[in-house]
Structure 1
Amino acid sequence: MNVKLRPEKYLKYLYLPNLFGTQRTKEILSVNPTIVPQRAEAEEVCVHVFDYDADTIVEKELDKVDEAFPFKTSKRVSWINIDGLRKADIDLISEYFGIHPLLIEDILSVSQRPKMDEVEGVMLCLLNMLYYNEAKQTVEVEQISIVLGDQFVISFQEDASRDVFNPLRERLRLPTSKARGRSADYLCYAMLDMIVDSYFLVMDKLGDRIELLEEEVVRRSNKRSLARINQLRKELIVLKRNIAPVRDLIGNIVRSESDLLDDRTTKYFKDVHDHIIQAFDLIENYRDVMMSLQDLYMSNVNLRLNEVMKVMTIVTCLLAPATVIGGIFGMNFDIIPYAHHEWGFYFAVGGMFIVPLVMLYIFKRRGWF
């Protein structure tokens, strides 16, 4: 039988930070707002355009950013999705669509806190899409910037290989879709709603892991269980850091009096706000469960230690009579009762067995073990 060995699977444990997961901690906590990070330029930029109204829709894949300029005057709702960020491309399209330089700076930022901002008739919603990596069992983050203007929405994504908007694209392709007859602010709502809904999918994955971990801790907790608890707590930190600010983002949109937002669309944003509050509450529940699991693990460790100490104490007590009897008959005196008796040895050995048996019976009757 041929067995394929994978040494890389085990070599990573030779590096101690990998063993204890400290590298993940560094990734989560290494955020310094006073340092301006340098974003790497994307090797490839993909531009996907949906230009639609209630009767017609135009869907195009563009090679260059400037090919999307004519859609600004199409008199239909235009969704321009740009995958891959390059400063030159963002500056070019921002200048044509009237996006303020302050908003451009936020779009190009790295590890930006989710927020909503409106400058000179253009609204920016900056937040993160979350994905669950089954292989690494970690939560991955991708920043997305949604720019809402007059009859257009421009979305900037970092990764061209994945997003959560495929159901929205399918809806727009349907002639009977209600989204086709709505304005650009409804498209912005639909995008935010799908991002928030994707948070629940990630939390469901973590919830399943928490449930399995709880069973493991109750049945057979060990050091690996503690390591898994710490790992899950780190992933919950990632969730809370990215979901909590979105609550304020949606709340600011609901309270906004911007001309870009139709009064009829406000109720939809309120629904998203309810969902994000529910997601935040669920994270807090997960956090409470993880704290309870850690306390349960420590209780199990202390309980096992107490059981060991109890057994060793009982053994010590049972050996004490034999030690006393042996010590008495081993004293260096000329006259010791039964020391020279023909049955003296058997009396001593019998006492060494009988007294511990009586003690064992008394311990059992008292329920000490």
Structure 2
Amino acid sequence: MRPHKYIKRIIQPIFTTGRTKEILHVNPTVQPIREEAKEIKIFIYNYDGRHLNEMQAETPEACFDFKDTNNVSWINIDGIRKKDVELICRKFGVHNLIVEDILSVGQRPKTDEIEGIMFCLLNMLYFNDRHCSVEQEQISIVLGKNFVLTFQEDASRDVFDSLREKLRLSSSKIRHSGADYLCYSLIDMIVDHYFVVMESLGEKIEQLEEEIIRNTNTRSLAKINSLRKELIVLKRNVSPVRDLVNGFIKSESELLEDRTTKYFKDVYDHIVQANDLAENYRDMMTSLQDLYLSKVNLKMNEVMKVMAVVTCLLAPATVIGGIFGMNFDIIPYAHNQWGFHVTVGFMLLVPVMMLFIFKRRGWF
């Protein structure tokens, strides 16, 4: 392989623009095509204050019995398949517009209420340490009378493990509350996990700041641009959730009890704080870019200062050499036996005196 091909393979992963296309090149007029999940997993939690029935359904039809019960039912569907989503939503009385939102890709976080069903869509965020990127997974939450449906894209991960542990405790508050409190708990855990992602981003920003201060290079600029893209992803997902939670607070739906509203206000405070923190991170990235440019200019000034000092120190020797190198018949000390030594001595003495003067004045 030729040398330029080696260089191309090394530089390309650093300065790739694929992430930019993924983040910014979005056309809302074109309906994206969702890839159908190969399999789905359905987990059902049917509970009240005394009993918990936890099971995994083999088919979508198995969860139909939990629609009209006196207990609260949480049905979590991992994996999105159009046929199964439509079947479950039709049985639970979910409107077709909500079904379209569930099946959509790249939707902006939002909340809606149609025919006695409350629906919200937002993204769970994860931080990939290996690629230093923010990954997102769309989740749809459907709140009905005594049931909550959640649709997830990825069956291998979510942020609800602590909620499942609380459901297994008969003394937990969620076991003695309604479906609206379950809906609040789901949203609250998603929002709380935003801070975990931002904490990881904050550590990367701090490491990058130390790297720029100690050793500035082109890789630092590439990392700045990479982190700025991830902050765009973070900001795009966090900011709309404020309106989503506010929709629950202002809703007059019979599905939401008055005592649950104060919990949504707590989530609202958290998402406002997360939004402010995302703004601070964006300001920090701007400051880091300015710091990088300042370090580059400072390094350039140091180089130019050294070159200027060297040029000044060589100037007397150049002048003296030029004078005694002129093509005249009579030049003082030209034929003296000590003429060469005196000339060289002046060439060395004058730069030494200049170095002393420069040092006294603090020029270097």
Q: TM-score range by the shorter chain?
A: over 0.9
Match of 1:153 in 2: 148
> Alpha carbon RMSD of aligned pairs, Å?
1.5
Matched-pair identity in %: 64
Match of 2:179 in 1: 184
Match of 1:35 in 2: 30
Listed one character per residue, the Cα deviations across residues 90-145 of structure 1 (whole Å, up to 9, x for unaligned) are 11111111111111111001011100011111111100001111222211110000
Match of 1:94 among 85, 89, 93: 89
Listed one character per residue, the Cα deviations across residues 36-67 of structure 1 (whole Å, up to 9, x for unaligned) are 00101110011111111112221110011111
User: 1:15 deviation in Å?
Assistant: 7.5
Match of 2:47 in 1: 52
Structure 2 contact 134–230 (Cα < 8 Å) conserved: yes
Match of 2:119 in 1: 124
Q: Secondary structure at the match of 2:111?
A: strand
Shift in CA distance, 12/352, structure 1 to aligned 2, threshold 3 Å? closer
Match of 1:322 among 317, 322, 331: 317
Within 2, Cα distance between the matches of 1:40 and 1:120?
29
Shift in CA distance, 72/231, structure 1 to aligned 2, threshold 3 Å? same
Match of 1:108 among 103, 115, 132: 103
Structure 2 unpaired stretches of 5+: none
Within 2, Cα distance between the matches of 1:31 and 1:244?
18
Is 2:235 the counterpart of 1:240? yes
Within 2, Cα distance between the matches of 1:360 and 1:141?
61
Could you tell which deviates more after superposition, 145-154 or 253-262? 253-262
Q: Secondary structure at the match of 2:337?
A: coil
Match of 1:133 among 128, 134, 146: 128
Match of 1:255 among 250, 256, 259: 250
**Map 1:199-348 → 2, pairs under 5 A:** 199-348=194-343
Shift in CA distance, 12/119, structure 1 to aligned 2, threshold 3 Å? farther
Structure 2 contact 14–222 (Cα < 8 Å) conserved: no
Listed one character per residue, the Cα deviations across residues 257-312 of structure 1 (whole Å, up to 9, x for unaligned) are 11211110000000000000111111111111111111111111111110110011
User: 1:74 deviation in Å?
Assistant: 1.6
Within 1, Cα distance between the matches of 2:167 and 2:346?
92
User: 1:318 deviation in Å?
Assistant: 0.5
Within 1, Cα distance between the matches of 2:121 and 2:257?
20
Within 2, Cα distance between the matches of 1:15 and 1:37?
33
Q: Secondary structure at the match of 1:81?
A: strand
Could you tell which deviates more after superposition, 254-263 or 36-45? 254-263
Structure 1 unpaired stretches of 5+: 1-9
Paired residue type of 2:111: M
Q: Secondary structure at the match of 1:156?
A: strand
Paired residue type of 2:112: D
Shift in CA distance, 121/17, structure 1 to aligned 2, threshold 3 Å? farther
Within 1, Cα distance between the matches of 2:120 and 2:295?
47
- Residue-pair matches, total: 360
Structure 1 contact 21–231 (Cα < 8 Å) conserved: no
Match of 1:171 among 152, 166, 180: 166
User: 1:19 deviation in Å?
Assistant: 3.0
Paired residue type of 1:258: S
Paired residue type of 1:138: S
Structure 2 contact 191–271 (Cα < 8 Å) conserved: yes
Within 1, Cα distance between the matches of 2:273 and 2:307?
51
Q: Secondary structure at the match of 2:13?
A: helix
Paired residue type of 2:195: F
Listed one character per residue, the Cα deviations across residues 22-49 of structure 1 (whole Å, up to 9, x for unaligned) are 1122222232111100101110011111
Paired residue type of 2:186: M
Structure 1 contact 12–18 (Cα < 8 Å) conserved: no
Paired residue type of 1:241: R
Paired residue type of 1:191: L
User: 1:18 deviation in Å?
Assistant: 2.4
Listed one character per residue, the Cα deviations across residues 75-102 of structure 1 (whole Å, up to 9, x for unaligned) are 2111110001111111111111111111
Shift in CA distance, 12/60, structure 1 to aligned 2, threshold 3 Å? farther
The normalised TM-score by structure 2 is 0.96
The normalised TM-score by structure 1 is 0.95
Could you tell which deviates more after superposition, 266-275 or 246-255? 246-255
Within 1, Cα distance between the matches of 2:189 and 2:175?
17
Match of 1:14 in 2: 9
Within 1, Cα distance between the matches of 2:165 and 2:204?
32
Is 2:80 the counterpart of 1:85? yes
Structure 1 contact 107–145 (Cα < 8 Å) conserved: yes
User: 1:338 deviation in Å?
Assistant: 1.6
Shift in CA distance, 146/210, structure 1 to aligned 2, threshold 3 Å? same
Within 2, Cα distance between the matches of 1:18 and 1:25?
13
Is 2:21 the counterpart of 1:26? yes
Paired residue type of 2:341: Y
